[in-house]
């Protein structure tokens, strides 16, 4: 630890930091905390008696996450690669611990959290990063075999194991994210596309997703509600409808910070997946446009960093992380604008969730670290 601190103190090459990426990230984090503070205030007051309850906890994880981001930044890329398989195995182990009585916590019918005493931890967030690292290492170490069908086996194995654990936790949104991570990394790797393999695997994957969607009543209800938005406005369509009311009533400039009406329990638990709705109500189209523009800049800079990478591992890790972020951003905004069925997809840096925020910031540190290492050569 002492050596690591000395390394930070001795670090003089600040010009190697991708400042557009870093500044955009910090601005989004700040806006996200402000949005969460307003969206969660009334619900927190009614549930805990403290209107700042969710903000305080999110700030705690933001602080830890920023420290994690600094550590990730100063950690060399070769270290990520060396520990990639271990990271994946540990993340699978954490997923398995959810099933241990006394450790696993069930919230709203889903058992996805670990009870760590002072807070709860969601292993699926760690698994996303573990999958990216494991796939990136395997492909970068076995580029020759990626030219044949055998190259698909290990990456598919990583995805299948991840999806299996997520299936038992009924975590559809995370499964979709894992699938996107797999596709992004596979395509970025330059693997030879063998349609004799891709088509049957794709059919099996689509069938598995359909089974997953249709295996639970609440998932079928979400699809039915999306296809029939005018039906059951006071039931299954309540949350997405209230989201549209919030966004629409914001107008161009918004009602003003703290002036949302929908957060007064009209939009249930707005601090989670629908925080962007309250933000759009308070800051209007202009504020929403600014956030979308900032997310676009972040993704663009992330892709630029990945394309400048001097090795396959750095390319795949950064693209996997940025692809994961881009997908979650697109789906969350699509959900709150009722452009797709409700999926439970959080908005990075905005939605309440300590584990998600912590892992997201660490992942951003990894992207910045890869950029630094590639510039140093």
Instruction: Please write the tens of the pLDDT for every residue from 137-193.
Output: 999 998 888 777 777 788 889 999 998 898 888 788 888 899 999 999 988 887 777
Q: Percent of the chain scored above 70 by pLDDT?
A: 92
pLDDT grade for 116, boundaries at 50, 70 and 90: confident
Going by C-beta distance under 8 Å and a sequence separation of 6 or more, which residues neighbour residue 291?
Answer: 28, 31, 276, 279
Given strand 104-107, what is the order of strands in its sheet? 104-107, 110-115, 120-121
Both tokens of 163, joined, read 């999806």
Window from 67-71, 89-93, 173-177 with minimum mean pLDDT: 173-177
Q: What is the mean pLDDT of residues 368-373?
A: 88
Burial of 363 (0-12, 13-18, 19+ CB in 10 A): buried
Phi, psi of 154 (to 5 degrees): -65, -50
Annotate the chain with three-state secondary structure: CHHHHHHHHHCCCHHHCCHHHHHHHHHHHHHHHHHHHHHHHHHHHHHHCCCCHHHHHHHHHHHHHHHHHHHHHHCCHHHHHHCHHHHHHHHHHHHHHCCCCCCEEEECCEEEEEECCCCEECHHHHHHHHHHHHHHHHHHHCCCHHHCHHHHHHHHHHHHHHHHHHHHCCCHHHHHHHHHHHHHHHHHCCCCCCHHHHHHHHHHHHHHHHHHHHCCHHHHHHHHHHHCCCCCCCCCCHHHHHHHHHHHHCCCCCCCCCCCCCCCCCCCCCCCCCHHHHHHHHHHHHHHHHHHHHHHHHHHHHHHHHHCCCCHHHHHHHHHHHHHHHHHHHHHHHHHCCCCCCCCCCCCCCCCCHHHHHHHHHHHHHHHHHHHHHHHC
Instruction: Please write the tens of the pLDDT for every residue from 291-325.
Output: 999 999 999 999 999 999 889 999 999 999 999 99
How many Cβ atoms sit within 10 Å of the Cβ of residue 48? 11
Q: What is the mean pLDDT of residues 324-329?
A: 96
Both tokens of 119, joined, read 């807070």
pLDDT of residue 213: 66
């Amino acid at each position: 630890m002492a050596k690591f601190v000395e390394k930070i103190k001795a670090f003089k090459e600040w010009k190697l930091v991708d400042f557009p990426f870093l500044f955009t990230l910090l601005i989004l984090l700040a806006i996200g905390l402000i949005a969460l503070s307003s969206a969660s205030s009334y619900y927190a007051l009614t549930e805990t008696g403290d209107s700042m309850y969710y903000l305080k906890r999110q700030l705690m994880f933001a602080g830890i996450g920023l420290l994690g981001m600094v550590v990730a930044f100063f950690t060399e890329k070769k270290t990520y690669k060396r520990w990639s398989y271990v990271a994946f195995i540990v993340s699978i182990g954490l997923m398995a611990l959810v099933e241990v009585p006394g450790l696993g916590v069930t919230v709203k019918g889903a058992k996805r959290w670990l009870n760590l005493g002072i807070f709860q931890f969601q292993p699926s967030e760690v698994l996303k990063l573990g999958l990216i690292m494991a796939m990136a290492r395997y492909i970068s170490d076995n580029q020759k075999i990626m030219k044949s069908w055998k190259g698909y086996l290990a990456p598919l194995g990583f995805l299948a194991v991840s999806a299996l654990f997520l299936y038992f936790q009924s975590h559809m949104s995370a499964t979709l994210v894992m699938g996107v991570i797999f596709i992004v990394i596979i395509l970025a790797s330059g693997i030879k596309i063998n349609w004799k393999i891709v088509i049957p695997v794709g059919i099996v994957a689509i069938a598995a997703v359909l089974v997953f969607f249709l295996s639970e009543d609440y998932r079928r209800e979400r699809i039915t509600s999306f296809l029939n938005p005018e039906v059951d406005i006071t039931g299954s369509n309540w949350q997405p409808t209230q989201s549209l009311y919030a966004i629409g009533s914001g107008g161009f400039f918004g009602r003003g910070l703290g002036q949302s009406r929908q957060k007064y329990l009209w939009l249930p638990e707005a601090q989670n997946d629908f925080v962007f709705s309250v933000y759009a109500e308070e800051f209007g189209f202009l504020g929403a446009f600014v956030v979308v523009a900032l997310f676009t800049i972040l993704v663009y800079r992330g892709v630029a960093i990945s394309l400048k990478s001097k090795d396959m591992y750095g390319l795949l890790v950064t693209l996997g992380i940025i692809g994961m972020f881009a997908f979650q951003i697109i789906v969350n905004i699509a959900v709150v604008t009722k452009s797709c069925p409700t999926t439970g997809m959080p908005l990075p840096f905005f939605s309440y969730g300590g584990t998600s925020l912590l892992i997201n910031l660490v992942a951003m540190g990894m992207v910045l670290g890869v950029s630094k290492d590639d510039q140093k050569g």
